[in-house]
Structure 1
Amino acid sequence: MTTKMVDKQQKRWRKILYEDQSVPDNYVDSSFLDELQKNLHTRKYDYWTVCEQSGEVTQQISSLGLFVVAYVYMENGWLSPHTLFTITTTLTCIGYLLKVYIDHYYQDTTSNRTLLDDIKTALVFAGFSYGLSPVLVSLTETISTDTIYAMTAMMLLGNLVFHHYGANAALVSEALSLNAGLFASVCLASRLHTTWHSFSTVTFSIEIFGLWPMLRRNLRKHIPQTQRWLTFLLMIITSMLLWTFSTVAAIFYITLFLFITFICPAWLVSLQPLKNNIHGPWDEAVIEEKKVS
């Protein structure tokens, strides 16, 4: 064996391209996979935990169902706008007091707003909504009802897609979700009969698309045990109200609820063992900021 061959065998191969190692550029030896790791950051999910967390989605779907139920009831004359306004305003006041109590009990001081600030904001929203209600009633007179319903369905779907379910994803946009819900309420309000119908619909949309999710997040943060009961309570109320005027809609809602709450988590858990993510020296470099003490 010549000296050149011995030197070549003893010289260890390195993962560099700026030096001639007498091998092709795409050559790798057995040491290349020494740093291979599989499923490094794979999470193990518990089925019932995932079922409980899926309530974030079904709670929002239930809220959309309640909003549609309120419109149908007013459209058919089964619910007066004054009654809707009284009920929703009372529930909103109760929810506000509950939020204040939770913030005080758990010493959550993330907001510097006072009771007077909240009252001023509520009066401003109520004043603008009532002042614009005569305009909203006749806003879409030249647009067909089918088009209005199609636009409403698209906006409610947008509210559902962009809603904040607790994950910081690129698709999440609370402002876009809220605006989509308000746009849907404006579309439906323009198909009702009086100024009070329009005012009650827009006010209800602000409460159910803006204030109600904030209270749910507060409860989830401080009292997570309430989520499962809140999910099933909303499901029961929504399905019963839907059943009063459409059996098909109620069955569809219940089926969707069961699919999201029980079948999708089982599907997710069953797919976890099939993950095969690999990590190694070929990954992109990550710049880590060094903290100076």
Structure 2
Amino acid sequence: MEHTRRKPWRKNLYENSDYEDNYTDPSFLQDLKTNQNLQTYTFLEAFVGAAHLSLQISIVTTFLVVFHYLYTDGVSPQNILVKAVCATIIGYLVYSVRNLRFAQIIEDLKTAAAVLVFGYIFSPLLHTLTDSVSTDTIFSMTFVVLILHLIFFDYGISAAIVSNAISLNAAIFGAICLASRLSSSFHAFVLLEVAAVYFALGPILVEKIFNLPLVLAAIATCCHFLLQISVTLFWTYSCVLVFINLFCPLLFVRLQRHKNNIHGPWDEAIVNDSSGS
């Protein structure tokens, strides 16, 4: 009889004093929805997404290849600098082919000249900046900051972890660490200019022209040079790419069927702004 005299339960905290604190009315779950606005991906879509990471890993790898040749004097720094300048000019033309204006070209040339001049002036300082640090420590620090560069890099997704500033600063810091191990300040200058091309200018161009042939070309280039340097490095690089481009997309696609998001009355309230209507 006491139960029948209670007021009908309502989704209002201050009107349910007759009910126990843990009472759940059957009507409470009528608004339950599962997997609302769920977006599923095919293996091809997941593969293309992973290709962005593979491309950036390949870019970092080619930068380390450049360092290796400078470190071992396998290639003259003048040769690398000329190639870096030519690649920069070609990339600039590709990026600005539809918006080339004489005034803009002059401004960009001034900026490039300033970067080269100041880079050359400060290269002796940067070359001796970490002389007191052991080579093993320098290489370990470089590995860590390049991993941070890959973690925080913008791969075209909206996520809280993405930070262009952290990614770029980590890559430049790694380049400065490696530059201190080279034989001369001019070697350090060349490596830092290559780092600026790879990590500051490169992402701007890659974002515009990204495609699978570009990824394959970058991977082929890395494989070619790594085979000349070390077979172990080649297989390590290959295994990492297989894991990223095949295993991870397959696992991601298979696990999508287990995704189960629930939405209901317990979700945070969203206030609709109707002032404009």
Give the shorter-chain TM-score range.
over 0.9
Native 8 Å contact 1:99 1:218 kept in 2: yes
Q: Pick from 94, 98, 102: which aligns with 1:98?
A: 94
> What corresponds to 2:23 in structure 1?
27
Q: 1:173 & 1:84 partners in 2: Cα distance?
A: 30
Tell me how many residue pairs correspond in the alignment. 275
> What corresponds to 1:38 in structure 2?
34
Normalised to the residue count of structure 2, the TM-score between the two structures is: 0.93
Cα RMSD, aligned residues only: 1.9
Identity in percent: 36
| Counterpart residue type for residue 253 of structure 1 | Y
Deviation track 1:38-91 (CA, whole Å, cap 9, x = no partner) reads 011321101111101211101110011001100111111211111111111101
Normalised to the residue count of structure 1, the TM-score between the two structures is: 0.88
Q: Pick from 10, 15, 38: which aligns with 1:14?
A: 10
Native 8 Å contact 2:54 2:244 kept in 1: yes
Q: Pick from 212, 234, 240: which aligns with 1:228?
A: 212
Q: Pick from 74, 80, 101: which aligns with 2:76?
A: 80
| Counterpart residue type for residue 241 of structure 2 | F
Which segment drifts farther, 116-125 or 53-62?
Answer: 116-125
Q: 2:212 & 2:147 partners in 1: Cα distance?
A: 24
Cα offset, 1:20, TM superposition: 4.4
> What corresponds to 2:261 in structure 1?
277
Q: After superposition, where does 1:188-227 map in structure 2 within 5 Å?
A: 188-220=178-210, 227=211
Query: 2:47 aligned with 1:51, yes or no?
Result: yes
Give SS of 2:15's match: coil
Q: 2:132 & 2:216 partners in 1: Cα distance?
A: 41
Gap change, CA 1:237 and 1:20, over 3 Å in 2: closer
Q: Pick from 134, 137, 153: which aligns with 1:163?
A: 153
Native 8 Å contact 1:13 1:21 kept in 2: no
Deviation track 1:78-137 (CA, whole Å, cap 9, x = no partner) reads 111111111111011101100012x549xxxxxxx9222222211111111100112222
Q: 2:172 & 2:192 partners in 1: Cα distance?
A: 7
Native 8 Å contact 1:156 1:180 kept in 2: yes
Q: After superposition, where does 1:109-120 map in structure 2 within 5 Å?
A: 114-120=104-110
Gap change, CA 1:40 and 1:136, over 3 Å in 2: same
Q: 2:99 & 2:273 partners in 1: Cα distance?
A: 37
Structure 1 stretches of 5 or more lacking a match? 106-112, 221-226
Give SS of 1:54's match: helix
Native 8 Å contact 2:10 2:16 kept in 1: no
Gap change, CA 1:43 and 1:161, over 3 Å in 2: same
> What corresponds to 2:143 in structure 1?
153
Q: 2:128 & 2:18 partners in 1: Cα distance?
A: 81
Query: 2:250 aligned with 1:250, yes or no?
Result: no
Give SS of 1:244's match: helix
Native 8 Å contact 1:137 1:195 kept in 2: yes
Deviation track 1:185-230 (CA, whole Å, cap 9, x = no partner) reads 111111111222111100000000111111011224xxxxxx1111
Q: Pick from 214, 223, 245: which aligns with 1:239?
A: 223
Gap change, CA 1:142 and 1:5, over 3 Å in 2: closer
Native 8 Å contact 1:136 1:189 kept in 2: yes
Native 8 Å contact 1:178 1:210 kept in 2: yes
Native 8 Å contact 1:17 1:25 kept in 2: no
Q: 2:109 & 2:205 partners in 1: Cα distance?
A: 17
